[in-house]
Amino acid sequence: METVNQIKNAAIRFLSQREHSQKELLRKLQQKGHEHEDCLGVLSELVELGLQSEQRFAEMIVRTRQQKQYGELRIRAELAEHHLSEGIISTALEENPADYFQLCADVLNKKYPDGAAKDFQAKMKQKRYLSTRGFTMEQIAYALGE
């Protein structure tokens, strides 16, 4: 019983600092030397109490990544790495709408103040950069004025 309380206290400490996914919390608790099965029990209790929420975690990630000017594709990929369902991911993105076309143009202008490149090699470099930031080809074409 003491171990379960230790696990619960450690998990609450992590959650008091910021939102965590269940996958993250499980990994951090196991790194502290706690047993997998004990951690799963504590995590399910935290979910029931409303202290841990995959939805809140997803919304936090969406907001912070949008502020860091990442595109929707990259945000979706990061959330999928946390084993969140497509429904949770879609809801989080819908509740935090962003104009990814304008965001892509802003990222391009910040990185390349001279605007879209004229020669093929430089334009491909810009496209790769925007693509790694998580923007779609349509958003990239919009930013480059194509």
Comparing 78 with 118, which gets the higher pLDDT? 78
Same domain membership, residue 67 and residue 45: no
For position 26, which CATH number holds?
A: 1.10.10.10
Same domain membership, residue 115 and residue 83: no
Same domain membership, residue 80 and residue 122: no
Q: Is the distance from CB of 127 to CB of 111 less than 8 angstroms?
A: no
Same domain membership, residue 71 and residue 37: no
CA pair distance 9, 90, nearest whole angstrom: 31
Stretch among 1-10, 78-87, 110-119, 129-138 having the lowest mean pLDDT: 1-10
- Domain with 29, as residue range(s), is 2-52
Q: Tens digit of pLDDT for each residue in 51-74?
A: 999 999 999 999 999 999 999 999
CA pair distance 110, 116, nearest whole angstrom: 11
Can you give the pLDDT at residue 59?
Answer: 97
Same domain membership, residue 62 and residue 91: yes
pLDDT beyond 70 at 1: no
pLDDT class for 117, splitting at 50, 70, 90? confident
Domain count, the chain: 3
Backbone φ/ψ region at 145: left (φ over 0), alpha (ψ -120 to 50), beta:
left
Same domain membership, residue 89 and residue 47: no
Same domain membership, residue 70 and residue 39: no
Same domain membership, residue 105 and residue 73: no
DSSP code of residue 68: T
Q: Tens digit of pLDDT for each residue in 33-46?
A: 888 899 999 999 99
Same domain membership, residue 82 and residue 104: no
Q: What is the pTM of this model?
A: 0.87
